[in-house]
């Protein structure tokens, strides 16, 4: 096994002019610069197709920061310190000669380097071969790839094969930016540092679990890409299944990458596959039609720019699944995600079991159990709903539910919610892989998605429609209420 612990200060960003860089990565570098997290020696080479000069790149980066960093956080001194770290190399990544040009640009830089591929997976092979041909693959360099790693199990295996042809697993950083989010990382602390929860975190203590990632945005200019993917591949395959893994995994032996990844792999291995019969009661897929979000008219999915009017690609899914192991046997896990929904909400809700004998009303009817809400958006917070008695001499047997809340933005006086990329960029520089996916995780998640999509296709269940600005198709409500439960709403 190759040790990759050397701190890196030479970084190559492929696709520096692309959407991901402009919207997410450049702002993340900005916040790291603002927080004095970057070493003075860090240099970043941006690689793109366009023939532009270093100073044109710097202007583009400046504009991107002005667009994607709120003006109250933008400090021109920090902007200029950051963009001075950047230089540019225009490359046709499919042409092996380009890599000699790239090599000349970095020949005096410190080794090893990190190569971040914010580009289409179609180009991964050319880049790996090109870097290797130019002698830029060294034992300690790191290669970073973004989701989606493939389109299905077969294509993800092909990509992984291409990567391991040149790089050891310890050099490969597969990103799911959800794992960089502070509250997601906090899940590990919440679960394993609080004995209160650890004794209840199993089928004896938990009634059901919900994981929701709703977005109010539609597909807009990503239609071509998205239509070939759909919401299950785009959101569930990585983001939602990763959240599920962190909720459900056993305590890792240590907090290192190997221990955490191997526990996540075990969860994915135990995840129940849906078959044709279970689709009707466990899977709903939908597509948005036109409607209003926040009072503004939005076209339906098939009427977005560049859309194919007969597309049946899903923009919404809700799924009931189970983890078939000793800890979770019989506990339903509900996953729900959609585009153009009423509001952007990302949350995990753990519904604890209620006590059997309830003394607060005459019928001794049971009350719902406590609820733990872990919110990633719009706030980053953890809140436990507890029952209390309202103040008042005549209110002995009345109870109310109140939140015990930890709002990280307020308690830690954060200026803004980090996107997740800050933490991941630092881990790449420092050689910490614990928040990156290993090959097995990616492939098991694809296998489960392939099986689910096949079962759906063979079941002849229809695609349901929902209005833009709503909470998804009605059938998604039935998926959970049929079991006597409800989606948690604030």
Residue of closest CB approach to ligand BG6? 234
Residue 148: CB minimum distance to ligand BG6, A: 8
Asked whether residue 215 is marked as a ligand-binding residue, the answer is yes
Site for ligand BG6 in 271-330 (CB under 6 A): none
Q: What 3-state DSSP class applies to 122?
A: helix
Q: Which two tokens stand for residue 283?
A: 């899977």
Q: How far is the CB of 147 from ligand BG6 (least distance, A)?
A: 6
Residues ≥6 apart with Cβ < 8 Å to 440: 261, 265
DSSP state of 382: E
Of residues 33 and 234, the one with the C-beta less far from ligand BG6? 234
Question: What are the counts of helices (DSSP H) followed by strands (DSSP E) for the chain?
Answer: 18, 17
Task: Report the alpha-carbon distance of residue 64 to residue 108 in Å, rounded.
Answer: 28
Give dist(CA 353, CA 368) in Å, integer.
7
With binding defined as CB under 6 A, does residue 443 bind ligand BG6?
A: no
Nearer to ligand BG6, 121 or 130 (CB): 121
CA distance 9 to 7: 7
By the rule CB under 6 A, 380 interacts with ligand BG6: no
93 is in an annotated binding site: yes
Query: What are the Cα distances from residue 455, in Å, to 165, 177, 378?
Result: 34, 29, 34
Distance CA 164, CA 172 (A): 8
Distance CA 252, CA 310 (A): 47
By CB under 6 A, the count of residues binding ligand BG6 is 5
d(CA 244, CA 349): 11
CA torsion sign, 313 to 239 to 292 to 466?
A: positive
341, 471 in Cβ contact below 8 A? Answer: yes
Q: What span, in angstroms and rounded, lies between the C-alpha atoms of 368 and 387?
A: 10
Backbone φ, ψ for residue 142 (5° rounding): -125, 145
In contact, 238 and 147? CB cutoff 8 Å = yes
234 binds ligand BG6 (CB under 6 A): yes
The pattern of x and - marking residues 133 through 162 that bind ligand BG6 according to CB under 6 A reads: --------------x---------------
The Cα 360–Cα 155 span in angstroms is 57
If you search the block for the tokens 């893994």, which residue do you land on? 245
Contact between 383 and ligand BG6 by CB under 6 A: the answer reads no
24 or 191: whose CB is closer to ligand BG6? Answer: 24
264 known member of a binding site: no
Report, in Å, the least distance between residue 445 CB and ligand BG6. Answer: 13
Q: Is 147 annotated as a binding residue?
A: yes
Pick from 98, 321, 346, 471 the residue near ligand BG6 by CB under 6 A.
346
77 labelled binding-site residue: no
Residue 213 C-beta: closest distance to ligand BG6, Å:
6
49 is in an annotated binding site: yes
* 371 touching ligand BG6, by CB under 6 A: no
Binding ligand BG6 by CB under 6 A: which of 9, 33, 210, 215? 215
**What's the rounded Cα separation, in Å, for the pair 481 and 490?**
17
Tokens read off for 333: 């896990």
Q: Which of 115, 166, 239, 351 is catalytic?
A: 239
Minimum CB distance to ligand BG6, residue 346 (Å):
5
| Torsion angle of the four alpha carbons 446, 451, 455, 456, in this order, in degrees rounded to the nearest 10 | -10
Toward ligand BG6, which CB reaches closer, 58 or 336? Answer: 336
- Minimal distance, residue 215 CB to ligand BG6, in Å: 5
Q: Is 181 annotated as a binding residue?
A: yes
Q: How far is the CB of 436 from ligand BG6 (least distance, A)?
A: 15
Q: Which is nearer to ligand BG6, 210 or 234 (CB)?
A: 234
Contact between 227 and ligand BG6 by CB under 6 A: the answer reads no
Answer yes or no: is 339 a known binding residue: yes
* 3-class SS of residue 336: strand
Catalytic status, residue 396? no
CA pair distance 62, 80, nearest whole angstrom? 8
- Whether the Cβ atoms of residue 383 and residue 375 lie closer than 8 Å to each other: yes
* Residues 158-197 as x/- pattern, contact with ligand BG6 by CB under 6 A: ----------------------------------------
**Would the CA dihedral through 317, 322, 324, 326 be positive or negative?**
positive
Q: How far is the CB of 487 from ligand BG6 (least distance, A)?
A: 18
If the CB atoms of residues 29 and 226 are measured against ligand BG6, the closer one turns out to be 226
In the complex with ligand BG6, the residue whose CB is nearer, 178 or 333, is 178
441 sits near ligand BG6 (criterion: CB under 6 A): no
Could you tell me how many residues make up the chain? 490
User: Of 282 and 346, which has the nearer Cβ to ligand BG6?
Assistant: 346
Residue 470 near ligand BG6 by CB under 6 A: no
Give the residues lining the site for ligand BG6 (CB under 6 A). 147, 213, 215, 234, 346
Task: Please report, in range form, the residues annotated as the binding site for NADP(+).
Answer: 49, 92-93, 147
What are the catalytic residues?
239
Task: Please report, in range form, the residues annotated as the binding site.
Answer: 49, 92-93, 147, 177, 181, 215, 234, 339, 344
């Amino acid at each position: 096994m190759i040790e990759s612990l050397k701190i890196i200060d030479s970084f190559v960003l492929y696709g520096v002019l692309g959407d991901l860089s402009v919207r997410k990565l450049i702002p993340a570098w900005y916040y790291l610069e603002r927080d004095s997290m970057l070493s003075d020696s860090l240099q970043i080479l941006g690689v793109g197709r366009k023939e532009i000069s270093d100073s044109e790149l710097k202007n583009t980066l400046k504009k991107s920061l002005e667009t994607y960093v709120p003006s109250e956080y933008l400090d021109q001194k920090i902007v200029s310190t950051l963009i001075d770290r950047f230089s540019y190399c225009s490359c046709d990544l499919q042409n092996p000669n380009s890599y000699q040009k790239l090599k000349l640009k970095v020949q005096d830089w410190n080794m090893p380097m990190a190569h971040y591929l914010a580009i289409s997976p179609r180009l991964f092979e050319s880049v790996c071969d090109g870097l290797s041909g130019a002698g830029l693959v060294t034992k300690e360099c790191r290669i970073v790839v973004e989701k989606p790693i493939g389109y299905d199990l077969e294509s993800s295996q092909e990509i992984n094969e291409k990567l391991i042809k040149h790089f050891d697993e310890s050099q490969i950083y597969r990103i799911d930016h959800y794992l960089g989010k502070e509250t997601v990382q906090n899940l590990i602390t919440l679960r394993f540092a609080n004995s209160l929860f650890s004794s209840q975190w199993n089928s004896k203590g938990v009634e059901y679990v919900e994981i929701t990632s709703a977005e109010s945005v539609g597909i807009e200019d990503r239609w071509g890409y998205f239509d070939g993917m759909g919401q299950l591949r785009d959101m569930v395959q990585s983001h939602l299944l990763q959240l599920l893994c962190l909720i459900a995994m056993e305590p890792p032996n240590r907090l290192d990458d190997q221990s955490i990844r191997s526990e996540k792999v075990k969860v994915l291995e135990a995840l129940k596959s849906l078959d044709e019969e279970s689709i009707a009661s466990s899977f709903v897929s939908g597509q948005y039609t036109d409607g209003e979000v926040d009072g503004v008219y939005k076209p339906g999915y098939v009427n977005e720019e560049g859309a194919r009017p007969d597309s049946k690609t899903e923009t919404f899914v809700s799924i009931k699944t189970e983890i078939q192991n000793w800890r979770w046997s019989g506990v339903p896990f509900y996953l729900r995600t959609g585009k153009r929904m009423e509001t952007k909400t990302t949350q995990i809700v753990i519904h604890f079991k209620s006590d059997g004998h309830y003394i607060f009303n005459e019928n001794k009817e049971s009350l719902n159990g406590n609820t733990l809400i872990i919110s990633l958006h719009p706030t980053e917070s953890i809140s436990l709903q507890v029952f209390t008695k309202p103040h008042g001499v005549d209110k002995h047997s009345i109870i109310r539910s109140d939140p015990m809340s930890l709002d990280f933005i307020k308690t830690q006086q954060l200026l803004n919610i980090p996107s997740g990329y800050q933490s991941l960029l630092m881990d790449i520089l420092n050689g910490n892989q614990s928040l990156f996916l290993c090959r097995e995780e990616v492939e098991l998640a694809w296998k489960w998605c392939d099986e689910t999509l096949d079962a759906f296709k063979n079941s002849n269940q229809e695609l349901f429609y929902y209005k833009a600005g709503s909470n998804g198709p009605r059938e998604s409500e039935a998926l959970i209420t049929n079991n006597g439960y409800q989606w948690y709403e604030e």
